[in-house]
Structure 1
Amino acid sequence: MFLFLLIAMVVVVAAVTLAVVGGGDSAALPEAAPEQLTDPLPVNRPLGRADVEALRLPVAPRGYRMDNVDDVLDRLGAELAERDARIAELESALAGARASAAGPRDLFGKPEEEPER
């Protein structure tokens, strides 16, 4: 009886293993195509909040696909750097405009009087 149960268990394990591995029949577990980024970030305009919120990265067996995540992070980093540079440029232009509009001042913050001719 013990020998019969042992043989039956070996047959069942072998059958399950062949079913999972495929055993020459590829219909058991067909190959799944890897997920791709279906809605990439727009390239013809700056990114907005809605673009980032709508972004869904494809999942790989061990998490997210690293190449897609790297591409998204590179794009976001470049856009943030571009916006930071533009903000700094506008702030310096505004500071220059305010300084020229205020006119020359002495050390105590009082406007200097122009000498009479």
Structure 2
Amino acid sequence: MIVFWFLLIALVVVVAAVTLAVVGGGSEAVLPEAEPDRVVDALPETRPVERADIDALRLPVAPRGYRMAEVDDVLDRLAAELAERDARIAELSALVTPAAAGSTTPAPAADRQPDEAPRVDLGKDGR
């Protein structure tokens, strides 16, 4: 019977010690608050996004999947950069198209007729 009471008191002391340690009975907390999971390496702000940036991107996981706000931010940034690149490609294509339309096939050489095959110089001995 004495062993029973000893074990019961020991159990109460251990439970109380663990509870105080977790709750933080002292001046400093034993278990600090966990920071929310966020994107560690966000997309660069000072330069355009490259493929390596997308490959290295790891979105934080939430209890029910990914954090919608983080995913929305990344998708908005990528959509803006793609729209900017599409506009730049269209602008450059518009500049190239008139220049390409003005140039046609090169004129034939002056020393041969257009239907004549080009001459091959075989050297002195004809080989």
Whole-Å Cα distance in 2 between the matches of residues 26 and 71 of structure 1? 39
Q: Give 1 or 2: higher helix fraction.
A: 1
Contact 1:34 1:60 in 2 (8 A): no
Q: Could you tell me which amino acid in structure 2 is paired with residue 73 of structure 1?
A: L
**Structure 1: gaps of 5 or more residues:** 1-18, 103-117
Larger gyration radius, structure 1 or structure 2: 2
Q: Could you tell me which amino acid in structure 2 is paired with residue 33 of structure 1?
A: E
Whole-Å Cα distance in 2 between the matches of residues 87 and 54 of structure 1? 26
User: Percent same amino acid at aligned positions?
Assistant: 59
Other-structure match for 1:48 = 50
Q: Secondary structure at the match of 1:27?
A: helix
**Structure 2: gaps of 5 or more residues:** 1-14, 24-30, 105-127
Whole-Å Cα distance in 1 between the matches of residues 54 and 78 of structure 2? 9
4+ aligned runs moved over 6 Å, structure 1: none
Other-structure match for 2:119 = none
Q: Could you tell me which amino acid in structure 2 is paired with residue 42 of structure 1?
A: P
1:27 aligns with 2:29: no
Superposition RMSD on alpha carbons, in Å? Answer: 2.2
Whole-Å Cα distance in 2 between the matches of residues 60 and 27 of structure 1? 24
Whole-Å Cα distance in 2 between the matches of residues 72 and 92 of structure 1? 30
Q: 1:97 to 1:55 in 2, by over 3 A?
A: same
Contact 1:36 1:58 in 2 (8 A): yes
Q: Could you tell me which amino acid in structure 2 is paired with residue 83 of structure 1?
A: R
Other-structure match for 1:94 = 96
Whole-Å Cα distance in 2 between the matches of residues 86 and 61 of structure 1? 40
Q: Secondary structure at the match of 1:94?
A: helix
1:70 aligns with 2:72: yes
Q: Could you tell me which amino acid in structure 1 is paired with residue 22 of structure 2?
A: A
Q: TM-score, normalised by structure 1?
A: 0.59
Q: CA deviation at 1:96?
A: 1.2
Residue correspondences, number = 79
Q: CA deviation at 1:25?
A: 5.9
